[in-house]
Amino acid sequence: MHAIDKKDSTYLYRQVFDLIGENIASGTLRPGDRLPSLRRMSLSAGVSIPTVRQAYIELERQRRIESRPQSGFYVRHVACNDIVHPAPSSSGEPVCLNCRPLMVRVYDGINQPDLVPLGIANPTLAKPAAKTLHRSMKRVMSRAEERSLGYASTIGEPALRRQIAYHYLDSIGVQVEPEQIAITNGGQEALLLALTAVASPGDVVAVETPTYHGLLELIDSLGMLAVEVETCPEEGVVLGELRRTLEQHPVKACIFSTTLSNPLGVTMPESDRRKLVQILEEFDTVLIEDDVYGDLRFDGVRPVPAQFLGSNARIITCGSFSKTAAPGYRIGWLVTDVFMDTVMRLKRAFSCSSGLLQQLTLADFLASGDFTRHLKMLRPVLKCNAERMSAMVADHFPAETRISKPVGGSVLWLELPANIEAEDLFDDAIEAGISITPGQIFSPSNRYSNFVRLSYGHPWSDKTEDAMRWLGRRVGELAT
């Protein structure tokens, strides 16, 4: 049951949108059915006509309804290439990174200015926190101008570590000691420190497949080998496959995103996260949990990182403010107890400490409540963009295209017709002023040659829609 609740903090238009959406999903409204007129809906839902219009426009934008001249709004017939999931892939042998030159081309390509940024996963663009962060920084500068320009301690600013601990308490109800939190230069340095603390050159590291390409470059740069573990688009790491991999290979550490992964946008069920902790304990294998997206589930329910689901001390959680506040600040963190001394030795040697002004600014941003308010606004924008982009893929890409159904984050993962080379599509798209990320770089063995990752983490615009139409057309041409 769903009714409009004026006391709810959700926008009224979004409530009308959800009301109609749920009626379509349940089959009460079928393809071809006429929706209540704007006036009627406004009277029955007790909201204004412009509010209903805004909801209908959004539903139309997402291709769920269509307007017919002089007649009203109707439920659309769903395209036959409706959302399905990419087929799961299987695990293999430990390998060195096999796509270094492509990785370089992708980074060069996507960082060109003025491209439609479908290749960059920067969700903060969708709803920038610039104004509130600026306010926080001004407050910090007026309070501690000289201090804020100095060195931070190696473990990081106590005020920020306290705020991160509070955020864990507030969002998932667990107690983390600020002494167990170390501030890093982004999530990437957290992963670097964690991996260097627990593994050495030549060691085997297990990763999800597909996985974040920056992780693969990291493993490769440390002279380690990556082994891919089959990952299901709905439930994450397949535990049976993980067990098989651990039995067959001397895996030193696993780096998984169990809370919200990139590029699949999947959360492992909590029961599986608990089993994962047990399996890794059994094999005495360290888990490094890449949790940089955990705060961005569309439903706002924050999954609990595996570290807090049992008593396994050999787990390190890596977080970051890059996906939720400001990637340019380069502030992340890691949570560990038993590895802290090693991590501190490495942090001193690699980068000494992280920017103090940014740490103090983020501490103020969290303490003021602005961070929580910002997340509340960011998540629905990302959800809406995900729906719009999925609808455009269904409408404009060839029928065989398969598409992930993320539960959060800022990217879609597409499986294109089998004969498409994503690398070629990448080159064509850059020339047309659009960045995308080709699938190969999400696997150390170049597995996903006909996959692409598209980011919806930016303000939706006509340019985005033009780019999606162009990509769909180009994929269609390359497929024939």
Ligand X SMILES: Cc1ncc(COP(=O)(O)O)c(C=O)c1O
Tell me the closest approach of the beta carbon of residue 69 to ligand X, in angstroms: 45
Q: CA-CA distance, 448 to 437, in Å (whole number)?
A: 11
Q: How far apart are CA 480 and CA 475, in angstroms?
A: 9
Cα 460 off chain centre by: 17
Query: Which tokens go with 401?
Result: 């295209």
**Residue written as token pair 């050495």:** 200
Q: Which is nearer to ligand X, 154 or 354 (CB)?
A: 354
CA 258 remoteness from chain centre: 12
Smallest distance, ligand X to C-beta of residue 332, A: 5
Q: Least distance (Å) from ligand X to the CB of residue 299?
A: 20
First-to-final CA distance of the chain: 46
Query: In whole angstroms, how close is the CB of 175 to ligand X at the nearest point?
Result: 25
Reported for 372-376, long-range contacts at CB under 8 A and 24+ positions apart, including other chains, are 372/170, 373/132, 374/127, 374/129, 374/132, 374/324, 374/325, 375/295, 375/296, 375/300, 375/324, 376/9, 376/300
Binding site for ligand X (CB under 6 A): 121, 186-188, 212, 214, 257, 262, 290, 292, 320, 322, 327, 332
Indicate the SS3 state at residue 286. strand
Complex with ligand X: residue 374 or 396, whichever CB lies closer: 374
* Shortest distance (Å) from residue 151 CB to ligand X: 21
Q: Give the residue with the Cβ less far from ligand X, 190 or 393.
A: 190
Radius of gyration of the chain measured on its C-alpha atoms: 23
How are beta strands 451-455 and 411-415 bridged, if at all? antiparallel
Tell me the residue type at 385: N
* Residue closest to ligand X when measured from CB atoms: 186
| Shortest Cβ 334–ligand X spacing (Å) | 11
In the complex, the smallest distance separating the C-beta of residue 343 from ligand X, rounded to whole angstroms, is 16
